[in-house]
Structure 1
Amino acid sequence: MINATDFHDEKGLLKGLSAGDQAAFKALYDKYHHALYRKTFQLLQSASETEDIIQEAFITLWEKRIEIDTARPLGPWLFTITFNRAINHLKKELREKSKAAAATLQPVVDNDFLAVEKQWKLLETAISQLSPQKRRVFQLCKMEGRTYEETSQLMGISRYTVKEYLGEAMYTLREYIRKHVSRDTALILFLLMHIL
């Protein structure tokens, strides 16, 4: 999903995080904050609520730092945590605006750490099915929030190829998820991939 150098660097940061290194935590915060902010703001349309959700996600990261698997990229886990919190926030707003409407809603997202971990693993497994080039395009465009132009320059391929690879990657991920999970979980993961 990410190139070997990036993964090696992040792996070292995750090991530092697990050991309680605040500098490693800050480096991970700096690495992911912009992309998390951009994607969460698309859902919430509120700068202050978006910042609150991201801060909560990073607090969870710090609290769960010993449980984080340092052998896997952090991005999918962080995006899933943030997405789940944003959905819960929207559900709460909806309940407050209309108790009658909220009574008919089924719980969409379980904010439990194990549920997030399960969704993360599934999405990560789906992403691992992609070719190396498509995984890299997905990671740059969806996980890091880079534009087609930036991705094109980083990878040395055309904008058109970036767009094609991303479209093919999204199709492959949707099909994988559709085949491997329940309808409700698939809906959550489809939303997550769309917002990413």
Structure 2
Amino acid sequence: MDDAKLLKRYAAGDEEAFQELMNRYRDSVYAFLRRFLSRSDLIEDVFQETFLQLFVSRDTFDLSRPLRPWLFTIAANKAKDALRRMQRTEVTQLGNMFDSEESTIDDVLNTLDHDERMPYDELIRDERAASVKRVISRMPAKLREIIVLAYFHKFAYAEIAQILNIPIGTVKSRLHTAVGRFAEDWEACSLCEMAN
């Protein structure tokens, strides 16, 4: 059953429809929040706040709008609020990355779908993930969030624009800037690691 039908059922008072929506989006929202927040207790709080917002929006949700971008907008806004309260910005567990001397920036950012795992590969991926995490965690929040949404969650430009409440042109410009900044910082990080 699609989201719109579940939302209609939930709006009519069917609590099981809400549970089904929560089950459908639980993993992806949780993974999304882990990329923004460093403390597991904070992740749990924001996760619950996100679904609480869906729960209380039963009567006001616009059924003509898709749920997924709306839900991720809520999660992103609540994560930003939590980060502001903490007055720091950290990114954790950006997933497993693989290592290759010929890796391009896009290769590094697109490696989350790689599933074949060998023990040595796991070690290399963990090292690469830690390096990527360090580079992205040092980026300004606006650039970090655009990379996370575009590369790790594979949102389209229009969806990112809706989530961040910015024009599509700004999404493209900011993503271009973010990738350029990542490339510069990645190069500097790689040079520092070689020197050590």
Q: Please tell me the TM-score bracket, short chain as reference.
A: 0.3 to 0.5
TM-score (norm 2): 0.47
Q: Name which one, 1 or 2, has greater alpha-carbon Rg.
A: 2
Q: Which is bigger in relative contact order (C-alpha 8 A, separation at least 6)?
A: 1
Flag the structure with higher helix content: 1
TM-score (norm 1): 0.47
